A = this chain, B = another copy of it.
Amino acid sequence: MLNFEFKNPTKIIFGKDQIGKLADEIPANAKILLLYGGGSIKKNGVYEQVQNALKNFEVLEFGGIPANPEYEVLMEALKVIKAENITFLLAVGGGSVIDGTKFLAAAARYKGEDPWDILKNAVRTTDAMPFGTVLTLPATGSEMNSSSVITRKSTQEKLGMGGTGLFPVFSILDPQVVQSVPQRQLANGITDAFMHVLEQYMTYPIGAALQDRFAESILQTLVEVAPKIMANPADYEAAANFMWCCTMALNGLIQKGVPGDWAVHQMGHELTAQYGIDHARTLAIIAPSHYRYNFESKREKLAQYGKRVWGINEGDTDAIAKAAIYKTEEFFHSLGIDTKLSDYTPDYNGTAQKISERFAERGWRGLGEHKRLSPDDVEKIVAMSY
């Protein structure tokens, strides 16, 4: 097991009809900017619940934060925060709204000239405007972690940021919101959480027995609840387990003491930036090729995953490891998620080379758990995903 530090101060309020507790978690004299996305919260009743809970606060609103939260849009929100002397941010939405809010929390207190530098120069944020979240779409885990991914449309860039200042003060998770999430987003959420776990797990054995089992627990539970959620998102028990899995998949716990990979995300971000493919789907496109390409170094963990998560017991280590990759693809397919780039765009030729060049341009530091994958490796992996 590797040495690690772990601290996660976010307060989780989880369960049925908990949104009303909002008011107790925000400082009494706060001036709040309520941030949301495309307006689904006005259809599913969440907006009304939030407004009711906040009736004794001064609340301004900023809606329209898009999926893959865009820098350009967020900079408009930043103007409101500054002009109106906002003191507390409340994200009501999914990962995109929460990630956007994290950027704003950091930008509101950033001392430098251009807030884009936080992303470009990977500045760690230790001081930020306090913010809470009401989660409406289980998927990214952003509700209980301190990282964020922001997209800049004009330059087709998608970059990450983070730091101890970016944990939400609180997050309210009411699994009843799942029933109004469209099928496409449910499939994305399940895939996203599944891949978050795999990025932290599918590396090499490091003797972290408990972390491995926790990761497998999340994977097993997602496999168990996925068909129930897809068939009936109003199934509260399935929704609650799905929601808690998404949070636990990326709140730091299963990452502690183990190596991380994250190359699938890094390559996937490029597919979103270039083709606008849903984040989760880019992961499903890249992961199988990534695991096949790096089969030698991931063989042991692939086989452990095959045995423990998929119950594959026939064959030698190689056979089980290979079967585990197929099972993963089948799982994504069962959710209606395609796993080849050509399923999403006819215009895929040259993508591998282009992505590889972008990585090289940004200054190459190596990808994957060994930091050994080169731009040439990236090109081959992406090409395998066509």
> CB distance B9 to A9 under 8 Å?
yes
> A213-B217, A244-B210, A257-B244 known; A14 and B4 CB under 8 Å?
yes
Identity of the chain B residue whose Cβ is nearest the Cβ of A4 in the assembled complex: B14
Q: Which residues of B sit under 8 angstroms from A5, Cβ to Cβ?
A: 11-14
Q: Which residues of B sit under 8 angstroms from A179, Cβ to Cβ?
A: none
Chain copies in complex: 2
Q: Which residues of B sit under 8 angstroms from A9, Cβ to Cβ?
A: 7-9
- Taking the nearest CB of chain B, how far is it from the CB of A156, in angstroms? 37
A82 interface hit (Cβ, 8 Å): no
Contact segment of A93-101, A220-228, A279-287: A220-228
A40 interface hit (Cβ, 8 Å): no
Cross-interface CB contact of A6 among B14, B220, B241, cutoff 8 Å: B14
Interface centre among A1, A7, A225, A237 (most CB of B within 10 A): A1
Cα–Cα distance between A12 and B220 once the two chains are bound (Å)? 27
Q: How large is the interface on A (under 10, 10 to 19, 20 to 34, 35 or more residues)?
A: 35 or more
Q: Which residues of B sit under 8 angstroms from A11, Cβ to Cβ?
A: 5-7
Interface centre among A7, A16, A225, A248 (most CB of B within 10 A): A7
- Taking the nearest CB of chain B, how far is it from the CB of A12, in angstroms? 4
Cross-interface CB contact of A1 among B208, B210, B213, B237, cutoff 8 Å: B237
- Taking the nearest CB of chain B, how far is it from the CB of A229, in angstroms? 12
A28 interface hit (Cβ, 8 Å): no
Proximity string of chain A (92-116) to chain B, C-beta cutoff 8 Å, 1 when within and 0 when not: 0000000000000000000000000
Cross-interface CB contact of A217 among B2, B15, B214, B225, cutoff 8 Å: B214
Cα–Cα distance between A241 and B12 once the two chains are bound (Å)? 26
Q: Which residues of B sit under 8 angstroms from A224, Cβ to Cβ?
A: 209
Proximity string of chain A (186-227) to chain B, C-beta cutoff 8 Å, 1 when within and 0 when not: 000000000000000000000111110110111011001100
Cross-interface CB contact of A16 among B3, B15, B211, B213, cutoff 8 Å: B3
> CB distance A218 to B210 under 8 Å?
yes
A18 interface hit (Cβ, 8 Å): yes
Name A's B-contacting residues (CB within 8 A).
1-16, 18, 175, 207-211, 213-214, 216-218, 220-221, 224-225, 237, 240-241, 244-245, 248, 253, 256-257
- 15 new A-B pairs (CB below 8 Å) besides A8-B9, A217-B217, A240-B257? A1-B175, A1-B237, A1-B241, A4-B12, A4-B15, A7-B10, A7-B12, A8-B8, A15-B257, A207-B237, A208-B240, A208-B241, A210-B245, A214-B214, A253-B253
